[in-house]
Structure 1
Amino acid sequence: MEQVQGALSGALSGPRPGSWPGSRHRPVVIGICGAQGSGKSTLAQTVQARCAAERLASAVLSLDDLYLTHAERQALARHVHPLLATRGVPGTHDIALGLDVLDGLEAGGPVALPRFDKARDDRVSEHDWPIVGPGCQVLVLEGWCLGAFPQRTRELAEPVNALEAGEDPDGRWRRWVNDMLGDSYQRLFARIDRLVLLAAPGFEVVHRWRSEQERDLAARAGPDDKVMSEAQIARFIAHYERITRAILAEMPARADLVVRLDRDRRPQAVEAR
């Protein structure tokens, strides 16, 4: 990770609050994109530690923490497509909430950061959201599809896996998800100043990585919490296969920093632009 930390130094030693045109308080936003289990949270913590060493006030927000509530996703499943009951794809996040957080930080704070409880599959009560004090200088924003572009319509025609073939045969779900990605998500992604991609060696490793995450979750879960089986994990990650493959194909050419990982998540190469 030393190579990664060194490459990020430029972003952290860049403009400070007060030097951004038209905004006295605007924090530098570092976006971290990576497939499930690729180490986004670990890298976010590393960036925070580096910020502390540089005496920069920082905060971390995950795209996961912007998930719609369980009830809201159930409503989408009833009215748009049944596959939207599963959290994660574009359209299942409250992007307006994320933009409100960024606006609040730009205004100088303090700001409450949303939190989502994956074991309960629901948003944490607002009373329990952590507060970021005034003067946040660096915001680390991380998510599995952060910075992704929508696909062209013709690219959506053929299903990429059994889930799409069997449960979205007419392509309605994937077209809707693609439309969402091309709309409000691009407004959120436009606020990113530096985009970091943790590039998996291929989609095939994602199941193993996600299984490791689930085991960690199970170790902390209570008796009423929801933890997925291996079969459920396979179905779960199938929802993200299309966009993950598209990211791995095109994002390395435009991300500010690309960290190429091996199957054990060890950095094999770091490419800065």
Structure 2
Amino acid sequence: MTPSLERIATATRGWLAGANGPLILGLCGAQGSGKSTLAMGLQALMEQEGRRTAILSLDDLYLGRQARGQLAADVHPLFRTRGVPGTHDVARGIALLEAAKAGAPLLLPRFDKGQDEPLPQGEAVAGPVDLLIFEGWCVGARPQAKADLVQPVNALERDEDPDEIWRRHVNRQLRGPYAELFAWIDRLVLLAAPDFSVVRGWRGQQEEALLARGADRAMDAGQLDRFVQHYERLTLHILTEMPARADLLLPLDEARHLRSAA
């Protein structure tokens, strides 16, 4: 058992002991930080201990290419790329978390990143569950102050969002529907990257894994460099703002090892 899994498992046992009904555990971390692996490890451990556990990934709530294309036409072209708040089916996510809290059966969606489309069928989970792990790169994120949106954080924002339309819409999404989605979270865990510079390498490893699993396509280096810039602003904000309020902070080094107790 890794130190990260040991720490989150110990904390989760305590939270479950004090829970009144199903517990929704939010797990936030930058792309490639190991959220999915940690979530699956926690699920296996909790189920060994007799607790019914399911995982909902924020990535599995992504809108398909057609829906994002419409958003790109209506709001800003950068919404054609999946990732930021505004590119998820938030209403479906809220309905799923509400159903989990009510002890109802769940049909968890699944998204094919290789095809960049939702899969037609999800995963059926008989209710009730004791624990639903809700994992994603911006799970639990809060909006930025409006003044913080003015200065671009990278070339993508400088060149393709000079009027701040894209990033301000993202921020409105965090203030509105995503706040409603994240309000269902009972406990929040943050896997904290040492800085944003490691995320490009971590995300590149994910693309290599997609190809190894038989994906039809993956991003090349140039596409990947541009892609991760979509995530930079909010990732930096999360790393600054979330540690002080997370129920459990797991600080990572570049190799994704736990750096110290938190």
TM-score in terms of structure 1 length:
0.92
The yes-or-no answer on 1:37 pairing with 2:28 is no
Letter in 2 for 1:100: A
Equivalent of 1:227 in 209, 212, 218: 218
Letter in 1 for 2:232: E
Instruction: Decide which of 47, 58, 63 is 2:42's aligned counterpart.
Output: 47
Corresponding position of 2:160: 167
Distance 2:9 2:261 in 1: 11
Equivalent residue for 2:97? Answer: 102
Three-state SS of the structure 2 residue aligned to 1:270 is coil
Which residue is 1:199 aligned to?
A: 192
- 8 Å contact kept, 1:121–1:226: no
* Structure 1 residue ranges, 4+ long, deviating more than 6 angstroms after superposition: none
Is residue 2:253 matched to residue 1:252?
A: no
Question: Any unmatched runs of 5+ in structure 2?
Answer: none
Q: Distance in 2 between matches of 1:7 and 1:140?
A: 11
Name the counterpart of 1:130: 123
Cα shift readout 1:91-145 (whole Å, capped 9, x = no counterpart): 00011101111122233221100110000001110xx211010221100000101
Q: Secondary structure at the match of 2:261?
A: strand
Deviations along 1:134-173, whole A, 9 cap, x unmatched? 2211000001011111001110001000000000001111
> What does residue 12 of structure 1 align with?
13
Which secondary structure state, in structure 1, belongs to the residue aligned with residue 163 of structure 2?
Answer: coil
Taking the aligned partners of 1:102 and 1:109, their CA distance within structure 2 comes to 10
RMSD between aligned alpha carbons?
1.5
- Whether the 8 Å contact between 2:139 and 2:182 is mirrored in structure 1 is yes
Segments of 5+ residues of structure 1 without an aligned counterpart are: 21-25
Q: Is the 8 A contact 1:109 1:132 kept in 2?
A: no
Amino acid at match of 2:40: Q
Does the 8 Å CA contact 1:4/1:259 hold for their aligned counterparts?
Answer: no
Deviation at 1:89, TM superposition (A): 0.2
**Pair 1:177 & 2:170 matched:** yes
Residue 57, structure 1, aligned to residue 58, structure 2:
no
Describe how 1:87-98 pairs up with structure 2 within 5 A. Answer: 87-98=82-93
Q: Which secondary structure does the structure 1 equivalent of 2:143 belong to?
A: coil
Matched positions, count: 261
Identity %: 49
1:118 is aligned to 2:97: no
